[in-house]
Amino acid sequence: MTPGLLAGKTAVVTGAAGGIGLAIARLFHEHGGSVVLADIDEAGVRAAAESVGARAIGVGCDVTDEDSVQALVDEAVRWSGRLDVFVNNAGVTRDASLRKMTVADFDTVIAVHLRGTWLGVRAASAVMRVSGGGSIINMSSLSGKSGNPGQTNYSAAKAGIVGLTKASAKELAHKGIRVNAIQPGLIRTAMTEAMPPEVFAEREAAIPMKRAGTPGEVAGAALFLASELSGYMTGAVLEVGGGRLM
């Protein structure tokens, strides 16, 4: 890839203490960007930021809290003087069957994914409206396309993110703000590797490319959407799933 795709730009990545979020932050930094890593695990995200490099800071943030998200955006602008890219990546799972899922577990997943993404889009776009544009990237999932048993909460939230992405893209396009989404499939992270091995193997076998993806491969799609290489794209949903569900 061409180095410097984000040179001079500042990006915020939520859920960046590890996994896909950290991979996105690392790749953005490698391409010249200044990166604000955010996570509810403040100590973890500060350590992650130190590992990324000199143009990175870690900030504690609860994406379900309006004031916390606003404080994150304010800190990014205070630190770098600008905000060009915002990646809504933070997420949790509370898997259970319909019969066993509690209302609290449903509400938690909806709040983190859907309300968290909405708060991120709203706060970031307010800054980008003034500055003349930017790129917002929302993390959906192939679970939001097909639905997964035991994930009525997660699948609903991830499907909702697609609708949110398209609606906000239409609202913000005339301000030069692009809003796109990524739908990862089976990606090797700490969360998926906690699955029973036989379940993981069964899902991997159903992928046309016959393997799970890596966080770095999702990060590559995020870099494309963050950069001017995708300058005429908004409201798009990129699947990063090895051909699963195509």
Examine residue 182 and state whether it is found in any structural domain, yes or no.
yes
pLDDT of residue 63: 98
**Mean pLDDT for all residues in the chain:** 96
Nearest to 52 by CA among 76, 22, 73, 19: 22
Site of tokens 């695990």: 41
% of the chain at pLDDT higher than 90: 93
Q: Can you give the residue range of the structural domain that contains 29?
A: 10-240
Amino acid at 64: T
Instruction: Write down the H helix ranges in the chain.
Output: 19-30, 42-52, 66-80, 103-110, 116-131, 143-146, 152-172, 190-193, 197-205, 215-226
To the query of whether residue 232 is one of the catalytic residues in this protein, the response is: no
Nearest to 164 by CA among 219, 118, 120, 198: 118
Examine residue 162 and state whether it is found in any structural domain, yes or no.
yes
Examine residue 137 and state whether it is found in any structural domain, yes or no.
yes
Examine residue 4 and state whether it is found in any structural domain, yes or no.
no
Examine residue 34 and state whether it is found in any structural domain, yes or no.
yes
Tens digit of each residue's pLDDT (9 = 90 or more) over 5-15: 999 999 999 99
Q: How many domains does the chain have?
A: 1
pLDDT of residue 91: 96
Q: What is the CATH number of the domain that holds 141?
A: 3.40.50.720
pLDDT of residue 3: 62
pLDDT, mean of residues 119-144? 98
Examine residue 209 and state whether it is found in any structural domain, yes or no.
yes
pTM above 0.95, yes or no: yes
Amino acid at 118: W
Examine residue 3 and state whether it is found in any structural domain, yes or no.
no
Tens digit of each residue's pLDDT (9 = 90 or more) over 41-85: 999 999 999 999 999 999 999 999 999 999 999 999 999 999 999
Examine residue 32 and state whether it is found in any structural domain, yes or no.
yes
Tens digit of each residue's pLDDT (9 = 90 or more) over 1-38: 446 999 999 999 999 999 999 999 999 999 999 999 99
Give me the catalytic one of 154, 181, 192, 225.
154
